[in-house]
Structures are given as structure tokens and as C-alpha cells.
Amino acid sequence: MRRRISAPMWLVAALLYVFMYAPIAVVVVYSFNAAKHGGPWAGFTTEWYARLLDDELKKQAALNTFILAGVSTAVATVIGTMLGYGLSRYWFPGKRLFSWLMYIPVVIPDIVMAVAMLMFFGLVREWIGLFELGMTTMIIAHITFQIPFVAIVVRARLIGLDPSLEEAAHDLGANSWQTFWQVTFPQMVPGILAGAMLAFTLSLDDFVVSFFTTGPGATTLPILIYASVKRGVTPDINALSALIVAASVVGTLGVTLLQRQPHKIGG
């Protein structure tokens, strides 16, 4: 029997949600403010969104952001899926330690990851002359912190699957390759897509790692916003921030919906 939530609990929950989302709501609302330099509300306008389309610097930053997120997500999804599958289906010496180490990039502060990647690229550049800071180093850095998230989601999906389905496929004469593609993989797809969308959202929002590993011509939207707010927050920055929030919300909702998908077996 479900317990009813009391009025005080509802009030506390409502206040917590207001506390968490009020700053985001302010940014979104003021992205439609007609005032040219922020400040008091001066009327509704969509001018700042239109100006974003005419700003070559912001359009290039947006393009860099989506290239970075797209490429890193694609690579991290493939590697993370294989890692999650291997950890859930095979035993090997040191598996428990390896599983524990996989969580380190998830729990350590972003600044530590960023400094570590910067030092790593510096050492490699000193030794063999590769990895000048730019889009390539940013992609590698993003892949590094995205892989554990994808692997964790895929592994959790596989752990929740019924192993008797794979056993039944083998009993019916399917080999390991056929069992994987016809039985296991179709059930993994929601987890793979959820992990990919989570990785994409994390890359889209990342600032610290990108800031430490970027180079000339590789400015992303979070870095551009950071540089712009030093001169004061303008309505076009609010509009840009609102678009990033919208993209993050869509990604989060997509992850949630995909994780609720029922298991389906391919034909």
C-alpha cells in the first residue's frame, strides 16, 4: 500500500525544486528580455536568438561543440559498450580491481581530470612531438571521461537481462556470434543509446576539461560563454545558455525514456 505524502513534505519538495531550477529559469526568461544590456525587464523579444544566427564566432563555436560531442560520443560508445559487455560476461584476473578503477574518472573532480590530461598531452608532445592542443586533444580528453559512463550504463543493462534467453539460444543451435546479434545485442540497444546520449550531454556541457585541453580555433560554446561573461552577461549569452539548457534537457529526457524501454529480441 502506497503511503500518502503529507502537505509539509510536498512543501519541502516544492521549495527544493524552486531552489534548484530558479536560476536556470531566470536565464531562460531573461534570454527574451528586450533590454540590450540586461538589467530590468524591458519587454519580450526573440531578437537575441536571431542575432545568434548572424554571429559567425558563436556559430563556429556551436559547430566545434557539436563536432566534439558527436565524434567523442561515437568513439566512447563503441569502446564503452565493449567494456561494459566484457565486464558483465567474462571473468579475468583483476576484474574486480578493473571494475573499481573504471569509476575513478566518474568520481574525481573535473579539475583533476583536466590537469591530468593537460600534463599527459604535454609529456607526449615533449617525447614524440604529437598532440598539439586543439580539437584532437579535446576529443581524446572527452572520450576518456565518457567511456566509463557508457560502460556503466551498458553493464547495468546487461546485468538486468535474463541469462536463460542466451542459454536457450545456444540450446537451439545458435553459435556465440548468432546469440550475440540475435538475442543479446537487441536487448542491449536501449542501454547503448542511453549511454551514448548521456555521453553526448556530458560533452555538450563540459567546460573544465575542454578549457584545459583546447587550442587555437577550437573554442566551444561553454568556453565562449565563460570568456564573454567576463565583460558582463548580455542577453545573447542568456539566449545561448538557454539553448544549451534545452539541449541538455532533451538529452536527459532521452536517456530516461530509453532506460525504460522493454527488452526486445531481434528476429
**Domains of the chain: which residue ranges?**
61-160+168-259
Question: What is the torsional sign of CA 167, 169, 173, 179?
Answer: negative
Alpha carbon distance 257, 249 (integer Å): 12
Q: Which residues of 28-54 are buried (b: 16+ CB within 10 A; e: fewer)?
A: bebbbbeeeeeeeeeeeeeebbeebee
Reduced to 3 states, what is the DSSP secondary structure of residue 36? Answer: strand
pLDDT digits (tens, 9 = 90+) for 237-266: 788 888 878 877 877 777 677 666 554 545
Whether the model clears a pTM of 0.85, i.e. scores above it, the answer is: no
- Give the pLDDT mean for 73-98: 87
Architecture per CATH, domain 61-160+168-259, reads as Orthogonal Bundle (1.10)
d(CA 258, CA 190): 5
Band (pLDDT 50/70/90 cuts) for residue 189 is confident
| 3 state SS of 43 | coil
The residue whose grid cell reads 528476429 is 267
